Amino acid sequence: MNQRYGDVSFEDRMSHVDFRVAEQPHIVVDTDVCRSCTTKTCVHACPANLFVPTAEGGILFNYEQCFECGTCYLMCDGGNAISWSYPDGGQGVVFRHG
Amino acid sequence: MAEPLRPLVVALLRWTDARARIDPLSGEVETDPRGAGPSEADRCALEHALRIAEAAAGRCVAVTLAPEPAEELLRDALACGADAVLRVDVPSWDSRVPDSGATTARALAHAIRTELGEPSLVLTGDHSADRGTGSTPAFLAAELGCAQALGLVELSYADGELLALRRLDRGRRERLAVPLPAVCSVEPAGLRLRRAALPSTLAARTATIPVVTGSVAAEPVTAHAARPFRPRAKELPPPPEADPRLRLLRLTGAHEHREPPRVVVTDDPAEAADELLEYLRGKGYL
Amino acid sequence: MRDRAGPASSAVTVAEPERPQFDAIVVGAGPAGSAAALELARAGHSVALLERGPFPGSKNVYGGVVYGRILDELIPGWYDEMPVQRWVTRRQTMLLDGERSMTVDFRSQSWGRAPYNGATTYRAEFDDWLAGHAQKAGAVLVPSTVATRLLRTERGRIVGVRTDRPDGDLTAKVVIACDGVNSFLAKQAGLFPGDQAAHTTLGVKETLALPARTIDERFGVSGHEGVDIEMLGCTQGIPGGGFLYTNSDTLSVGLVLGLQGLAKSGKRPEEVLAELKRHPSIQPLVRGAELVEYSAHLIPEGGYDTMPQLVGDGLLVAGDAAAMCLAAGIWLEGVNFAMGSGMYAGRAASKALSSGDLGALREYRGLLESSFVLADHKKLRKAPELVLSERVQQRYPGLVCDLVELMFTVENPKPKPGVRKLLRASAKRNGVKMRELARDALTGLRSFG
């Protein structure tokens, strides 16, 4: 197998996408709920890799490079730990080749 | 302001695609009108213009020099509260005018004068996101024959006086009182463009955008080739030492006595100039 | 904090507006919304078309082909003006298993001539083009505006939407929600049946740049001809599938992954995609291509049985918001169903507005049932379940590859075995009971036949 054209790094992958970052986050995670969550599905299911588990069992979340797909809130096992919304109008991801 | 009756505040917005793609092989630049818009600095300039026009009970007009797809940007400006807009048309295939600060300034000054009247204040972003050098506001000040203050981070207008703040080196700030009329360029700092209300957005969606042709009298200068300056390589004789190790040491410059760099710190410009001259004289440059 | 749309948001109760600002508000300028706005504007009604992105299409991702027949009705002569990347003249269905693959490859040059069959496009261009038609017909496009809440009277009738702009309430006689797969508006109206995660899939896609000539050579096409490949068995046990299609100078390769399967697998979506790109059947196609965009989007794949109620009091739901994506194995369509449902929603709304009787909105469902939109969905209602079943996903690709491999592996001097014997052997090797195979074949026949 030819590994030379293997995969790009995740940062590189995301650098090709146009994100217009809003001032206000459109995702807010209640990490108190996350501490009792055993699966933490959002961490690996999020295609933009926005959720990072912390050593204390909580979740560190980002919103800047979000695809606004909705996977995280649909997959959230901890009840409603993730309050999710769309970014303000005109902000957020802009696909050119979608 | 210069005229007490409805002073004219113009916000110049440059229409650029900040995410232009460059073909690595051909060097061709691909832009997408859908993603294009004003730079963050231009958006700041518009917000300043709106605030100053409000404070001075003036008229705020947004002007752009761009082809037709840029109307979207002017509609946004209208929605945000600009009293009027104006598009100075350039053909989308011809980048000579937008690429040259001097010709852009000439076309804009002509359009503003004939369509809108003498401006009291012209505001724009300090650099455009693409090829702009930031020279347009300076040229524009020359064209309009008014004062200029460039690269501002703060602007405030009160009682007919325009005060500005500019960033200097080493974290210093320069406070300026700007006489009017003036051309000011602002950095994307301090404030953000307001979000347009829904009723004004709806009104702006169907508004007609006035257009004038950006006539340019003279052909702008076109650069046919640009190369970086490359001084010719100079041959140096090898160090005279017989021992290769010593020769190497000489070449690397290790263990040699050197004068430490001199840092001059003074608040007095005259003193600083004297210091500088003495230094140059000591080095044999003068 | 500003009002926001979200899974937990609810409608706002307002007084009945005396004079609604518009006849209709269409939320979302995707294919469904633009088609609805186009129909309404053509019938002379005032329409506001809200879009949360800076331009139509900026938030949208799809999996490959726009089928144009519905456009014949919507925009006659569409194929001369639509922003097309390539016309699909070659269609492949590929079963992958380990290092093997089995492909059914069909080509028809007539698909590359008017009236054409399907085309690949970029959604930023396509959706913008379609919304442009709605605008030309008189609809008012309002970009960069999120519809956060429904406005509802005390009697429960929907009379408008609240947007995230200052002074942002907008009223109308009819609201058409084309606000995509997450459709918070349909949820606020209480039209959604519930467990969405169970029948929603995540699509991830890479757009890869290659010179047009290289694409022509690798895929055996020329000029404006293009290829669409649908794949099965490439998702490492996660229910779903893959796709690869050609644009003029890029390839789009992506995966569709069932959300619950993805959660269980513990794998990252882009890693599964990277694995697909390393498959010996795919790797030579994408070799050396440079990534230009990575994207992700949810897809409502449940089909007919998971659709929300399509009509509320003063509200219609169309497109992905109404789960109009058809994911039935050999047929994978979405944009045409969105346009179709949007068009009929626009027609029903227009009729109700003209007659002054909003009860006529209920005709929307009838219009859909008598057209391909719900007819196809109804007929193929069992298909999504079958396609995403464990057997189709994990055992049949292996079974087919085994069978074909056994058939074409020459074992001289042993004589060739009969196909029936090979089938039995392959079924056994992949843990498929002949009875299950027969039952699935029957279900398939009933759905697809």
Q: How close A78 comes to chain C (CA, Å)? A: 14
Q: Are C293 and A93 in contact (CB under 8 A)?
A: no
Inter-chain CB proximity B34 and C58 less than 8 Å: yes
Instruction: Write the residue in B32, B37, B202 that is nearest to C140 by C-beta.
Output: B202
Residue B35 to residue A18, Cβ atoms within 8 A:
yes
Query: Could you tell me if C131 and C54 lie in one domain?
Result: yes
Q: Which residues contact B254 (CB under 8 A, 6 or more apart)?
A: none
Q: Kindly report the average pLDDT of chain C as a whole number.
A: 92
pLDDT tens digit string along C281-306?
A: 999 999 989 999 999 999 999 889 99
CB count in 10 Å sphere of residue C265: 19
Nearest CA to A42 among A80, A10, A74?
Answer: A74
Q: Let me know if residue C359 belongs to a domain.
A: yes
**Per-residue model confidence (pLDDT) at position C146:** 95
Tokens of B236: 């140096």
Q: Is residue C110 part of a domain?
A: no
Question: Are C77 and C226 within one domain?
Answer: no
Contacts of C137 in chain B (CB under 8 A): none
Residues C55, C157, single domain; the answer is: yes
Task: Give pLDDT, residue A78.
Answer: 63
- Flag if A94 and C207 touch (Cβ within 8 Å): no
Cross-chain CB nearest to C287 (options A5, A24, A97): A5
Q: What are the residues facing B9 on neighbouring strands?
A: B60, B121
Structure tokens at C57: 């299409």
Per residue in C102-129, pLDDT (tens digit) is 999 999 999 999 899 999 999 999 999 9
The structure tokens listed for A18 are: 């146009």
A23-32, C153-162, C322-331: range with lowest mean pLDDT? C322-331
Give me the pLDDT at residue B1, please.
43
Three-class DSSP category at C42: helix
Q: pLDDT tens, B23-36? A: 777 777 788 888 88
Q: Pairing state of beta strands C200-209 and C225-232?
A: unpaired
| Spatial CB neighbours of C199, under 8 Å, sequence gap ≥ 6 | C300, C301, C302, C303, C306, C323, C384
Residue C387: per-residue pLDDT: 85
Those residues whose C-beta lies under 8 Å from the C-beta of residue B102, and which sit 6 or more positions away, are: B135, B139, B220
Determine contact, residues B56/B5, Cβ cutoff 8 Å.
no
Instruction: Tell me the CB-side half-sphere exposure of residue A20, using CA atoms within 13 A.
Output: 24
Enumerate the H helices of C245-395 as residue ranges.
Answer: 259-265, 269-277, 283-286, 335-355, 363-369, 372-379, 383-387, 390
Domain ranges of chain B: 8-19+28-213, 244-282
pLDDT grade, residue B218 (50/70/90)?
low
Tell me the sheet residues that pair with C294.
C206
pLDDT in tens, B119-141: 999 999 887 666 667 788 999 99
**Domain edge (last residue) among C325, C358, C380:** C380
- What residues pair up with B59 in beta bridges, in sequence order? B8
Structure tokens at B225: 């080739």
The residue out of C361, C380, C399 marking a domain boundary is C380
Q: Where are the domains of chain A?
A: 24-94
Confirm or reject contact between C283 and chain A (CB < 8 A): yes
Same domain membership, residue C327 and residue C268: no
| Calpha distance A87→A84 (Å, rounded) | 9
Distant-in-sequence, close-in-space partners of C235: CB < 8 Å, separation ≥ 6: C241, C242, C255, C256, C257, C261, C272, C276, C393
B8-19+28-213 has CATH 3.40.50.620 classification:
yes
Locate the chain C residue with the closest alpha carbon to B73: C54
- pLDDT of B5 reads 57
Among A36-45, B251-260, C350-359, the minimum mean pLDDT is found in B251-260
Flag whether residue A23 sits within 8 Å of chain B, measured between CB atoms. yes
Least-confidence region, from A27-31, A36-40, B263-267, C137-141: B263-267
Judge if C293 and C204 occupy the same domain.
yes
Integer-rounded Cα radius of gyration of chain C: 23
Whether residue C183 contacts residue C161, with contact meaning beta carbons closer than 8 Å, is answered with: no
In this structure, the strands spanning C158-163 and C147-152 are: antiparallel
Please indicate, yes or no, if residue C4 is contained in any of the structural domains: no
For B220-224, B232-236, C216-220, which range has the lowest pLDDT when averaged over its residues? B220-224
Q: Is the pLDDT of residue A1 over 60?
A: no
Task: Assign domain A24-94 one CATH number from 3.30.70.20, 3.90.190.10, 3.30.450.190, 3.40.50.620.
Answer: 3.30.70.20
**Structural domain span for residue C213:** 198-300
Query: Final residue of a domain: which of C323, C348, C380?
Result: C380
Contact A96 B192 (CB under 8 A): no
C394 band by pLDDT with thresholds 50, 70 and 90? confident
**Averaged pLDDT for residues B63-89:** 93
Answer whether B195 sits within 8 Å of A88, measured CB to CB: yes
Neighbours of B194 (CB within 10 A): 15
pLDDT confidence bin for C330, thresholds 50/70/90: confident
Q: How many domains does chain C have?
A: 3
> Is A75 within 8 Å of C263 when comparing Cβ atoms?
yes
Residues C288 and C220 grouped into a single domain? yes
d(CA B77, CA B85): 8
In the numeric block, the tokens 């380990």 are attached to C98
What pLDDT score was predicted for residue B142? 93
H-state helical runs in C153-258: 184-188, 212-219
Question: Which chains pack against C, by 3+ Cβ pairs within 8 A?
Answer: A, B
Residues C76 and C156 in one domain: yes
pLDDT of residue C164 exceeding 60: yes
Condensed to tens digits (0 to 9), the pLDDT of residues B90-118 reads 877 777 677 778 888 888 999 999 999 99
Do both C61 and C186 map to the same domain? yes
Q: Which residue of A has its CA nearest to B18?
A: A18
In sequence order, the β-bridge partners of residue B123 are B11, B184
Residues contacting A3, CB < 8 A, separation 6+: none
Q: In terms of domains, do C312 and C295 share one?
A: no
∠ CA C352-C358-C361 to the nearest 5 degrees?
Answer: 65
CA distance A36 to C246: 46
CA dist., res. C215 & res. C228, Å (int): 12
Q: What is the CATH number of the domain that holds C140?
A: 3.50.50.60
The answer to whether A18 contacts B32, with C-beta atoms less than 8 Å apart, is: no
ipTM value of the model? Answer: 0.92
